[in-house]
Amino acid sequence: MSTTDRRTAVDRLGEAKAGDGLLVIGTTPFIGEGFDAPALDTLFLAGPISYDGLLIQCAGRVIRAAPGKDVAEVHDYHDPATPMLAASLQRRMPGYRALGFSKA
């Protein structure tokens, strides 16, 4: 994807409204710094992020206030039988608490 195409796609996402039925599949570098789409309300985290700052940046994409958005959800996939994935979830928990999320 060219820089121009990426910027066009990001601009379209930024203009989306809550309830538009928007689905974004991206990697952490894509939704990193400079990405803003306030209408997003759900994050499926499927990687072993353990650094609080990166977790806060990723989750911050869905917790931003937007007209018509009442709920923000983060679904964190982990595997307690896989040591690296189990340990990284435990390292993320302070970040989740700092963001105001509760364990469901």
User: What digits encode the pLDDT tens for the residues 73-88?
Assistant: 888 888 889 888 888 8
Determine the structural domain holding residue 11 and report its residue range.
3-99
Residue 68 included in any domain:
yes
Q: What are the residues whose beta carbons fall under 8 Å from the beta carbon of 5, sequence distance 6 or more?
A: none
Average pLDDT over residues 52-73: 85
Residue 93 included in any domain:
yes
Residue 104 included in any domain:
no
Q: Name which of 82, 76, 45, 4 is nearest 12 in CA terms.
A: 4
Average pLDDT over residues 55-69: 85
C-alpha–C-alpha distance, residues 34 and 49, integer Å:
19
Residue 90 included in any domain:
yes
Average pLDDT of the chain, as a whole number: 81
Residue 48 included in any domain:
yes
As for how many domains the chain has, the answer is 1
- End-to-end Cα, the chain, rounded Å: 37
Cβ-contact 51, 102 below 8 angstroms: no
Q: What is the pLDDT of residue 33?
A: 64
Quick check: 28 pLDDT over 80? no
